[in-house]
């Protein structure tokens, strides 16, 4: 149990004194970068899905 208490004390000290937290502006900039990257990735996946779907439609039409 003493190890757990010691771990919690050290964790608290590290989080309050040793960690460099980002400023509000840095946090906003990071959030915008993540949002833009997420949109780009979503559009790429949409494009791949549509391409695969159209290819499968052509394939199944050729069998009929």
What are the DSSP calls for 11-63, one per residue?
HHHIIIII--PPPHHHHHHHHHHHHHHHHHHHHHHHHHHHHHHHHHHHHHHHH
Q: Could you give the number of structural domains in the chain?
A: 1
User: Would you say 22 and 30 are in contact if contact means Cβ atoms under 8 Å apart?
Assistant: yes
In a domain, 54, yes or no: yes
Three-state DSSP at 5 gives helix
Q: Is pLDDT above 90 for 4?
A: yes
In a domain, 5, yes or no: no
pLDDT, greater one: 2 or 57: 57
In a domain, 15, yes or no: no
Q: In which domain, by residue range, is 59 found?
A: 22-64
In a domain, 57, yes or no: yes
Q: How far is CA 52 from CA 38, 41, 48, in A?
A: 21, 16, 6
Q: Is pLDDT above 90 for 35?
A: yes
In a domain, 1, yes or no: no
Q: Is pLDDT above 90 for 1?
A: no
pLDDT at 2: 83
pLDDT at 14: 93
In a domain, 10, yes or no: no
């Amino acid at each position: 149990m003493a190890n757990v208490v010691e771990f919690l004390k050290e964790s608290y000290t590290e989080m309050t004194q040793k960690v460099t937290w980002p400023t509000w502006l840095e946090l906003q900039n990071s959030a915008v970068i993540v949002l833009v990257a997420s949109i780009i990735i979503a559009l790429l996946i949409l494009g791949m899905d549509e391409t695969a779907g159209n290819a499968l439609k052509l394939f199944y039409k050729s069998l009929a």
